[in-house]
Amino acid sequence: MTEVTEFVTLLAILLGGGMIGAGIMKRIKFPTIIGFVIIGMLAGPYGLGIVEDVELINLLAEFGIIILLFTIGLEFSIEKLRKAGMKAIIVGTSEIAIMFFLGYITAFSFGWNHLESLYLAGILAISSTAISMRLLRDMKLIQTKEFNTVITILIVEDLVAVLLLVILGNASAGAAVDIFGVGQMILQSLAFFVISLAVGIKLIPKLMEKINNLDIPEGSFITALALGFGMAALAHFLGQSTAIGAFLMGMMIASSKHSKHITEKVLPLRDFFVTIFFVSVGMLVNIFVIPSVVLISIPIIVLAVMGKFVGNFFGATVGGHDLVGASTVGAVMVPRGEFSFIIAKQGIDTGTIRDSLYPVTMLVTLATMLLMPLLLRALPTLIDKRTYVPEKILNPLFTVGIFFRQILSSQQGISKLSLLLKKQAPKFFINLIVVVAILAIIDFFKIDIINAIKTMGIPTLLEPELFLTVISMFLITYPIISLVGKIEYIVGVLSELMTGRLASSLHRNIVDKPIHRLIRNILFIGLVLIMVSIIQPYISGIASMSFLPLLISGIGLIISITLIVDTIFVFQRISRTHIMDTLLKEDEYATKDERRENEY
């Protein structure tokens, strides 16, 4: 078979087979992307072997990634991010940060190295824009508040995903990654990102305007594609990902007033290559490795589903949704997809992470895609308000979200919260940076310090490496205590704000202590996760005490579970007061008024 015939046959299998799989999935009401991936797995070199040229499959997958990121850049603009509002940016960034930390800690607990843990965290942190958007359109929810919320969160996630690709790409280029090295790579990556965007966003719109004035019908479209591929090549030449270059050029062109016309022309091309991308991704999965990663994938899948749902449910509640709306947003944001595959493929292509991460990614993405329709029917959502899950299970999280919404809806609350953040946030981050800096410096000079201790014959009761670790923990004790103090202060202010907002002077003493404990538990769970994610990688290099990372993870888990259990008891105590009923009724009235306004 000639090369041309082989290529045409491959396209026929990719497109024809993909549509067959998509049609089957559509009939049983599952995301069509699952059909693309499964057909690829069956037809690929690890399945029936219909297509065996792995290099050609990789080339098509890479081309699909470039087109996909280019169109995402075209649909993304700084103006859209500005319109999304600070609240949406905070909510989107917060839920990504929580999911990223949970993913990193989980991977490291499995014995994965720093880089592999970062890749898994990135894979779990980003939802699928393609699936979420298509699902909302299929459910005819385009004109709803939930659609607007999902759009704003996805805008933030797309930007974070691109930054993750840049940072992880540079991290993979290093022979080894430590805390100090990661910081340096982040600065290099962000410098490339910011400088390219700052220069291009001024020049490219002017160029597109001149091309449009030539009055060539396809001039803008062809020029846009040429610039996209050119920027991808430049990014590769400078040691960055080709997909990042395409995304940046898409963002630059999006600033042009002709971007809408160009986007309409590119969308059919995107649909063509997105199909090729997902089918080729399936072809690259070694199905024989899947049984060996099923057990490790189960806890990752549970974490992926629960983490995304809880983070987005809470964020949507703070953003003004009722329980049904927040549950809809949470369920729609669960599936992982294109960015998870792109991040995993980038790591595998560099050869710096284990090959088993790819089938793990496949199982996680397929499971989250399959579970999403079930969640939409099992939970109270706009698809089916009947629920198999008692609403009282969601009420604690919903109520905490309303607490924060009440603060943000008050002008006085916003002023006090802004003042609190201006005063305490810099101090908090300075102490956090001090902790990271101490560990990074000691880790960087660890070998020199240990050699100096041995050479000078300094007496230590412990092994030099273990002795140095004890010293490190001692040095970070003060900034950690300071962090605890800052959080206690923040808890006190937030508690006062919430108590004053939700309770009269007669009930203030009844509500004050439970609310204080509730906020304290939530913030301290976050602090525990941050500390575990910082300390765990540092102590993993102690060969004589290899159990330490697992011990630290276990301690963090025990503390977190204890705080969660205490939070449940606190919530039950609050629910026995009149505050809970009043709060839920106020939210119900506000939601009805808002929907009535939207109808008119």
Predicted pLDDT at 437: 84
Strand, coil or helix: what is 584? helix
For the chain, the distance separating the N- and C-terminal CA atoms, rounded to the nearest angstrom, is 65
> Residue 117 and residue 103: Cα distance in Å, rounded?
7
Predicted pLDDT at 511: 46
CB-based contact 200:77 (threshold 8 Å): no
Predicted pLDDT at 505: 42
Of the CA atoms within 13 Å of residue 437, those in its CB half-sphere come to 7
Residue with tokens 């298509």: 134
Predicted pLDDT at 413: 63
CB-based contact 61:277 (threshold 8 Å): yes
235, amino acid identity = A
pLDDT of the chain, 600 residues: tens digit per residue: 566 777 777 778 778 888 888 888 888 777 777 888 888 888 888 878 777 777 777 777 778 778 878 887 887 666 666 665 666 666 677 788 878 888 887 887 777 877 788 888 889 988 887 778 777 776 777 677 777 788 778 877 877 887 787 777 766 665 444 555 555 656 666 677 778 878 888 888 888 888 888 877 788 888 888 988 888 888 877 766 777 788 888 888 888 877 777 888 887 877 787 787 788 878 877 778 888 888 888 999 998 998 889 888 888 888 778 888 888 888 888 988 878 888 888 888 777 788 788 888 888 988 888 888 788 888 888 877 667 777 777 777 787 777 777 766 666 666 777 777 778 888 888 888 888 888 878 877 777 887 887 777 777 677 777 788 888 888 888 989 998 888 888 888 877 776 665 554 444 444 456 777 878 888 888 888 778 777 776 776 665 666 777 777 778 878 888 888 887 777 766 666 655 555 555 555 455 545 554 444
In degrees and rounded to multiples of 5, residue 76 shows phi and psi of -110, 140
Strand, coil or helix: what is 321? coil
Sign of CA dihedral 336, 137, 40, 228: negative
Kindly report the number of other CB atoms within 10 A of residue 591's CB atom. Answer: 17
DSSP assignments along 487-539, one per residue? HHHHHHHHHHHHHHHH--TTTHHHHHHHHHHHHHHHHHHHHHHHHHHHHHHHH
Q: Read off the tokens for 588.
A: 């119900």
CB-based contact 371:131 (threshold 8 Å): no
Residues 6+ apart with CB under 8 A from 262: 74, 208, 220, 221, 224, 253, 256
Nearest alpha carbon to residue 389 among 335, 311, 327: 327
Q: H helices within 141-178, ranges in order?
A: 145-173
Angle at 499 between CA 497 and CA 502, to 5 degrees: 105
Dmax over CA atoms of the chain, in Å, equals 86
- The answer for 140, left when phi > 0, alpha when psi is -120 to 50, beta otherwise, is left
Which letter, b or e, does each residue of 532-565 get, where b requires 16 or more Cβ atoms within 10 Å of its Cβ?
Answer: bbbbbbbbbebeeeeebbeebbeebeebbeebee
> Residue 526 and residue 489: Cα distance in Å, rounded?
15
Nearest alpha carbon to residue 133 among 48, 216, 31, 226: 31
What does DSSP assign to residue 544? G
What does DSSP assign to residue 47? T
Residue with tokens 């300390």: 535
Residues 6+ apart with CB under 8 A from 80: 155
State how far the alpha carbon of 130 is from the alpha carbons of 72, 126, 150, 192, 394, in Å: 10, 12, 12, 27, 27
Nearest alpha carbon to residue 170 among 187, 154, 148, 156: 187
CB-based contact 362:285 (threshold 8 Å): yes
Residues 6+ apart with CB under 8 A from 188: 170
Burial of 295 (0-12, 13-18, 19+ CB in 10 A): exposed
Domains of the chain: residue spans and CATH:
3-389 (1.20.1530.20), 408-599 (no CATH)
What does DSSP assign to residue 379? S
> Residue 390 and residue 386: Cα distance in Å, rounded?
10
> Residue 485 and residue 265: Cα distance in Å, rounded?
56
> Residue 38 and residue 55: Cα distance in Å, rounded?
20
Strand, coil or helix: what is 214? coil
Torsion angle (degrees, nearest 10) of CA 503, 508, 513, 515: 10
Residue with tokens 């990614």: 361
> Residue 529 and residue 557: Cα distance in Å, rounded?
9
Q: What is the distance of C-alpha 36 from the center of its chain?
A: 24
